[in-house]
Structure 1
């Protein structure tokens, strides 16, 4: 299936695997790329040198195009951009809107720039700055998310910009892909669906938690880092929501200390990163620290398998996902389902034309 997205980035299918921290590593990204979709490597949880090593590992596993996701507000964003350029990565995606200068630097080097946004005005801004495409995530999406449903947000963005739009938030099958195309999107991006594959390195016990979840077991909370964050309900989330300010600050300091040891970041740098994630919100100091070390809470679950100590970011689609296919099986199934849906629509269209 050829769309503006496939032509732009050189993949066979208009499907994107999103850059999920601690999840979208070389194994998942290369498996996605080999399946004909666009795999996005998550770099926010990596050091600069780990990023370079991971990029080279993906390149050694596949000849297909892939991308790297960056935090535009990170202090070392330019250094990471330089690695993308030097290593010949095809796509740079951003969790937050990158500056006009970063976009220009990447485009001058021939890198395709695809920021992720959650509002029409943000899409308009990055499009005006030269972004090649945009991923727009509705409120159904996992992790940090907004409160506007994909079915409302997507057509707004499609109508507002002249660059390819990739739909995210609530997609897991071929019917969803066809629906997104009908809205005018050039493809879909999926996170939770790719997390729940056999190629994902997330521990099996954690995957089981996702598969057990019903739609109502997935909630949006601000208790973790002060920002709306969609995740599975858990005792940790409940305890954070119950905790008073003093207790929350104590918990945040303990977790921040652990992340500081792991990452090698200074306390000052962690606080700066936490403040950068405020987005104008009135965060407490505990929330600032939690914002800075949210990666540690994700690592506890996604890497260490400690669902009692970590959070499990999740889109609402976890409530309707029941299996763990390989990336190759998943992408093939999505495209087969899309083909069936398109043929059925064509049959309906032909029938209506005949009746008319």
Structure 2
């Protein structure tokens, strides 16, 4: 897998991306993943330019490997963040919540590798036409903001539809998942929840503990009625949110102000404050598979690579003999 197109393009050792989780994907996590041979990402979220500039500076002090910045295109500071990554000559960016088409020419002029996150075949094809170097295809199994299709069904359709490298995301947490993704034709994978519980993740220990204790059915999707669904662990907030979706105007006339108020600051309360009751504990369905605590990013990536190689070899013997 070291010879995958994405490894060669980004000059990384392993085709493993760290998910750009808001409040979690800071310089500590990004640099640790990059030092371990993957691609670490700093999530810009809704932060202003000066804060992200500081994170980039600190990441460069912590690693001399390739790392990237994720640009949230719905951020009120998006224009400033675009200026920043160009000024700083960040090697690679991923984008979410929209199309980076209007900025593509500027990115290309300074040699930035652009990898949008998409949730449909149509989006992937559009990004290829606009000049994207690769796409991250995210299935609804992932944590945080999600689309409508599953990773298993969406990834092969995108692989067949585009000629640029495809990175699979959503529901991948061990070597079996990585091997399955490569069998679907991808050049790399992106993991979020697995790195959320890593030693270098700044997520509060209360949050990490809830993820590690989660069972297969412990995540829930809220916000479908708003058009911006989010997957996270069940708690008092998700129950309150679901009740508000049902009762305050219903599907015909939803109370968007009420729903927005419930979500304000909810992720920060989980990640920074350690509130596990009235917070948004964004987590993928893969949480039910995760049990190992306090692993370093290096240990995680080494384990993933060993597991993947073992699965591929064992299954090759099984089916070819």
TM-score bracket, shorter-length normalisation: over 0.9
Q: Matches of 1:232 and 1:224 in 2, distance apart?
A: 18
Unaligned runs of 5+ in 2: none
2:311 alignment partner, one of 326, 334, 341: 341
Q: Is the 8 A contact 1:224 1:294 kept in 2?
A: no
Aligned to 1:81, what secondary structure does the other structure show? helix
Partner of 2:223: 222
- Contact 2:143–2:285 (8 Å) recurs in 1: yes
Q: State the shift of 1:219 in Å.
A: 1.0
Counterpart selection for 1:298 from 243, 267, 270: 267
For the residue of structure 1 that corresponds to 2:265, the secondary structure is helix
CA contact (8 A) 1:23 1:202 kept: yes
Alpha-carbon distance, 1:226 to partner: 5.1
The superposition leaves residues 37-75 of structure 1 with CA deviations (integer Å, 9 ceiling, x where unpaired) of: 001101114221000000110011000001101112334
1:21 aligns with 2:22: yes
| Deviations 1:154-177, CA, capped at 9 Å, x for gaps | 001000111000000110111211
Q: Higher helix share goes to which structure?
A: 1
The offset of 1:97, in angstroms, is 3.4
For residues 309-335 of structure 1, give each alpha carbon's deviation from its aligned partner in whole angstroms, at most 9, with x where no partner exists: 311011000011001211000000001
Shift of 1:282: 8.2
Partner of 1:272: none
Cα distance in structure 1, aligned partners of 2:31 and 2:254: 38
Aligned length: 317
Deviation at 1:349, TM superposition (A): 5.1
Taking structure 1 as the reference length, the TM-score comes to 0.84
TM-score, normalised via structure 2 length: 0.93
Contact residue 34 and residue 65 of structure 2 kept, 8 A: yes
Query: Which of the pair has more CA radius of gyration?
Result: 1
Q: Displacement, 1:224?
A: 9.3
Aligned-residue RMSD, C-alpha? 2.2
Structure-to-structure mapping, 1:1-356, within 5 angstroms: 1-222=2-223, 227-243=228-244, 284-286=255-257, 289-290=260-261, 294=263, 296-324=265-293, 325-348=295-318, 350-351=320-321
In 2, the alpha carbon distance for the partners of 1:184 and 1:295 equals 39
Q: Go from structure 1 to structure 2 and tell me whether the alpha carbon gap of 1:163 and 1:329 turns closer, same or farther (over 3 Å shift).
A: same
SS in 2 for 1:314: coil
Structure 1 residue runs of 5 or longer lacking an equivalent are: 249-280, 352-356
